[in-house]
Structure 1
């Protein structure tokens, strides 16, 4: 027989795994979309590509950190998933559209 005091319940493990997945995967998706959008917009504004890429990568690291902390601290997880995946997809679409317009 399993002792409830010594082992966490399966639902608790799944909740932690879902929160960790939202933090890492959703945060990465948002950061990737943000880097793509910022780089293409900065190049369109006249900045050199490598400077824009470096600046956007710094912003992306900060966004990933913010998303990671938010996913861990949020009370409910579904808004975190919605914002991170939806925002990442939207930003990646913006970056792709701007890049296509530049070429």
Structure 2
């Protein structure tokens, strides 16, 4: 792998922004799903926030360890879009 001048910046962006987007999608989906299954809102909120912190940490570290930067962006951005869309569908079903 050849490292160019901007390569570390793209890794940092993938770790911070991609990890945040993926974690946000996970928390939104987890909260909506847990609430739809009968868990109280605040319990679902706290549970998914705790798990989300761990997911963000794993994604942050993986963004620097992964060989393919494109794969990191695909997983984080794609996962964020899918989970946010699924969370939105669940929330619309609840209202």
Q: What TM-score, normalized by structure 2, do the two folds share? A: 0.95
Matched, 1:60 2:41: no
Q: How many residues align?
A: 93
Matched, 1:77 2:69: yes
In structure 2, how many angstroms separate the alpha carbons of the residues matched to 1:66 and 1:94?
A: 22
In structure 1, how many angstroms separate the alpha carbons of the residues matched to 2:7 and 2:84?
A: 28
Give the CA deviation at 1:20. Answer: 0.2
Cα RMSD for the two superposed structures: 1.1
From 17, 20, 30, the equivalent of 1:38 is 30
Give the CA deviation at 1:11. Answer: 2.5
Larger Rg: 1 or 2?
1
Q: What TM-score, normalized by structure 1, do the two folds share? A: 0.87
Stretches of structure 1 lacking an aligned partner (at least 5 in a row): 1-9
